[in-house]
Structure 1
Amino acid sequence: MTKLAYNINQQFYGNLHYLWCTPYFESDYSAPTFAVPPSSSPLEIYNRLKREVESGDGHDSLIKVKRLGARRGADAMEKRGKITAAQAKEIRTICKLADREQFKPLMCIIPRLEAIPYSQTVDVKSKAHPLSQEYVVADLPHTAFDVIRIG
């Protein structure tokens, strides 16, 4: 998760968070069973986003994806009636104006038992690889997970 997404969730969504998750921290292609590809690996995503934030490269793609994702989240929350049209507009403006520092990555550590009531399996067509284990955890309260920064 980015600092921006975390703060939007805290300020506008009542401390409830939407997270795309996997039980595997990193990709391990030497393992006998398929875990998760790099594009869905929490460690790979964290490191890539950290590099993009620090590089100053205006053509960075992951920051653009995260910016768009936060705007789409606002649209979805408005459609669900969780926020008003004015709040959705404010979030879209925040996303547009946010500097790259707001896209610094945060790692969410969610105990499995805390996640189960909020989790949904991702449809195989939406996964980064058909054999990867990926889940969506929606409306997860902040009290159900820890946030850390690596390095």
Structure 2
Amino acid sequence: MSLNNIQNPILYSTMTALAYNINKKYYGDKHYMWCTPYFGSDFQSPHFTVPPSSSPLEIYNTLQKEIDGADLHNTKIKLNRRGIRNGAGIMLRLGKITQDAHDEIVTISKRTPDQQFKPLLCVISRLEAVAFYKKVDVKDRANPLSYEYILSDLPQSAFDIIRIG
């Protein structure tokens, strides 16, 4: 369903503090995020929302647990490290950053301690997000029925950041 057609006024996403700071420093405070109009997963509802792997609340809680538990086998933090590097590669190919900036981001993603991957909940106005929206192909969603959207180059002025707990 197009972002224009959903009724929910708010979209939610979770990013890490490190990703946020890299976006701010290297990408001109423009942010890339997967988002959904649902904060959490409601498995009791007949209306399917999003599975746990796409739920901003579940992602937030998983990241926080990996940090609090000093989990050396963490999965979300490792995925975020890889995602930061992949994003840097894409930005380099698009000519949005230099090779030096790319190399710095890669090094930062590898050397930054897990504590810098603190989760940040992003609360986004759907109306402001429409101009930055990209459709997520059904094959790329966590569940074919879930409502997932990509926002690319979203300015920080279009969303608020909340720390839970």
The interval holding the TM-score normalised by the smaller chain is over 0.9
Number of equivalences: 151
SS at match of 1:146: strand
Match of 2:6 in 1: none
Match of 2:27 among 6, 9, 13: 13
Give the superposition deviation at 1:85.
0.6
> Which is richer in strand?
2
Does 1:93 pair with 2:107? yes
Gaps of 5+ in 2: 1-14
- Residue 26 of structure 2 aligns to which amino acid in structure 1? F
Runs of 4 or more consecutive aligned structure 1 residues displaced over 4 Å after TM superposition:
none
Question: Structure 1, residues 49-68: CA drift from partner, whole Å, max 9, x if none?
Answer: 10001111111111100000
Gaps of 5+ in 1: none
Same amino acid, percent of matched pairs:
57
Give me the TM-score of the superposition, normalised by structure 2: 0.90
Where in structure 2 are the equivalents of 1:25-104 lying within 5 Å? 25-104=39-118
Give the superposition deviation at 1:141.
0.3
Give me the TM-score of the superposition, normalised by structure 1: 0.99
Match of 1:115 among 126, 129, 132: 129
Give the superposition deviation at 1:120.
1.1
Match of 1:128 among 125, 130, 142: 142
Paired with 2:75 and 2:141, the residues of 1 have a C-alpha distance of: 19
Paired with 1:136 and 1:57, the residues of 2 have a C-alpha distance of: 29
